[in-house]
């Protein structure tokens, strides 16, 4: 559940004296108040996705070209927009249905991405393509975590025993 105040931003947390709450609030506020910044972040992730599909697929003996990877991600995003519209309609018509549409979106996300990667690179096994997608995603998360740790980005949340 997302709430907005009358200024269009997120409502402030109940305890802004806690620096973790203040940091999280400011981060969310940055994204909501700067749509161009949000668009830049989204475009960056999509660009990395296109390069990732191309480079990792080629490293695994795939035959796809960069243009094919780009075309697949454009089509993939169009399909995900359709699913988001269905989620919005489900939320308006029958809110409990939104959970099922969201679950279907996650399943279709992995199915479509696996099928597209197989088509682009000529892979024969859906299981190996899905495994490559999951392992690559985990690798990207680990690399991003290391980069953020090196840059000194703090963890938001309670880590009292660490």
pLDDT digits (tens, 9 = 90+) for 81-98: 999 999 999 999 999 999
Which region among 12-16, 23-27, 59-63, 151-155 has the lowest average model confidence (pLDDT)?
12-16
Which residue's structure tokens are 């780009």? 70
Q: Is 113 exposed, middle or buried (0-12, 13-18, 19+ CB in 10 A)?
A: buried
Using the predicted structure, report yes or no on whether residue 159 has a pLDDT greater than 90. Answer: no
Calpha distance 94→161 (Å, rounded): 42
pLDDT of residue 116: 94
Mean pLDDT of the chain: 84
- Going by C-alpha positions, the residue among 105, 102, 130, 106 that lies closest to residue 116 is 130
In which element (H, E) is residue 140 found? Answer: helix 126-151
- Going by C-alpha positions, the residue among 117, 120, 144 that lies closest to residue 133 is 117
pLDDT of residue 4: 47
Are 54 and 117 in contact by the 8 Å Cβ rule? The answer is no
The proportion of the chain whose per-residue pLDDT surpasses 90, expressed as a percent, equals 57
For 94, left (φ over 0), alpha (ψ -120 to 50), or beta? beta
pLDDT of residue 119: 94
Calpha distance 141→143 (Å, rounded): 5
pLDDT of residue 15: 62
């Amino acid at each position: 559940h997302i709430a907005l105040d009358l200024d269009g931003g997120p409502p402030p947390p109940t305890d802004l004296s806690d620096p973790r709450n203040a940091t999280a609030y400011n981060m969310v506020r940055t994204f909501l108040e700067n749509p161009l910044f949000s668009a830049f972040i989204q475009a960056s992730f999509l660009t990395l996705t296109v390069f990732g599909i191309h480079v990792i697929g080629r490293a695994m003996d795939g035959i796809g070209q960069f243009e094919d990877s780009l075309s697949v991600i454009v089509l993939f995003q169009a399909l995900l927009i359709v699913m988001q519209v269905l989620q919005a309609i489900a939320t308006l018509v029958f809110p409990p249905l939104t959970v099922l549409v969201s679950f279907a979106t996650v399943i279709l996300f992995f199915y479509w991405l696996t099928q597209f990667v197989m088509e682009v690179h000529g892979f024969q096994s859906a299981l190996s393509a899905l495994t490559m997608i999951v392992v690559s995603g985990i690798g990207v998360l680990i690399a991003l975590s290391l980069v953020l740790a090196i840059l000194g980005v703090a963890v938001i949340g309670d880590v009292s025993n660490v």
